[in-house]
């Protein structure tokens, strides 16, 4: 039987955002130990390497008790089985997330019936934030500081060249 104290929070976290941290912080109220799993990115092309994402997450969560960080390239339910995990934390931003997450949770339950999926709504002020949107906003010179930890903003400066829109010329 899985430990009632362990949960995992899987995702690509490319990069970790304040929305992710909001879900993590609320998960820590329910579970004294939450392991953030840097999972495979599937069809996405990540900006940060797995090692960079792990280090960023460790750095921005260093002051949070009960947080661990790991990487897993395979099925999350296999990780849960091997590490005695009771729950998988999933964040929902908008209604469009629900259908995909519901199907994923259903498949996961078939793979490992002992593990529950816990859905958490992202805070209202962050529901529109995604890692992809952060990278695009930053690329075009937008201010990402309300949406990511300061260290993430610094690392984005190292990775993404700023591209400003061409000014409109008057004829």
pLDDT at site 168: 47
Catalytic residue numbers?
Answer: 20, 44, 93, 131
- Rounded distance between C-alpha atoms, residue 31 and residue 130, angstroms: 24
pLDDT at res. 42: 63
Residue 167: its pLDDT value, please?
47
Write out the CATH class of domain 6-159: alpha beta
- pTM here is 0.88
Residue 134, phi-psi category: left (phi > 0), alpha (psi -120 to 50), beta (remainder): alpha
Question: In sequence order, what are the beta bridge partners of 91?
Answer: 120
Query: 136 near 22, Cβ under 8 Å?
Result: no
Q: Does residue 7 sit in helix, strand or coil?
A: strand
| Cβ contact 17:123 at 8 Å | no
From residue 21, alpha-carbon distances to 18, 74, 105, 149 in Å are 5, 23, 21, 9
pLDDT for position 7: 98
Q: What pLDDT is attached to residue 41?
A: 62
Per-residue pLDDT of the chain (171 residues; tens, 9 = 90+): 555 689 999 999 999 999 999 999 999 999 999 999 998 666 668 899 999 999 999 999 999 999 999 999 999 999 999 999 999 999 998 777 888 899 999 999 999 999 999 999 988 888 888 999 999 999 888 999 999 999 999 999 988 765 554 444 555
């Amino acid at each position: 039987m899985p430990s009632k104290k362990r949960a995992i929070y899987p995702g690509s976290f490319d990069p970790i955002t304040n929305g992710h941290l909001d879900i993590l912080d609320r998960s820590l109220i329910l579970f004294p130990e939450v392991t953030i799993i840097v999972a495979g990115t599937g069809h996405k092309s990540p900006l940060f390497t797995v090692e960079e994402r792990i280090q960023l997450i460790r750095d921005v969560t260093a002051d949070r008790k009960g947080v661990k960080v790991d990487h897993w390239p395979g099925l999350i339910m296999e990780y849960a089985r091997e590490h005695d995990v009771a729950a998988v934390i999933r964040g929902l931003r908008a209604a469009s997330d629900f259908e995909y997450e519901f199907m994923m949770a259903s498949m996961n339950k078939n793979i490992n019936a002992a593990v529950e999926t816990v859905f958490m709504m992202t805070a209202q002020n962050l529901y529109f934030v995604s890692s992809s949107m952060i990278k695009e906003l930053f690329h075009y010179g937008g201010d990402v500081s309300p949406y990511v930890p300061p260290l993430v903003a610094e690392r984005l400066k190292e990775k993404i060249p700023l591209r400003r829109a061409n000014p409109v010329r008057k004829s």
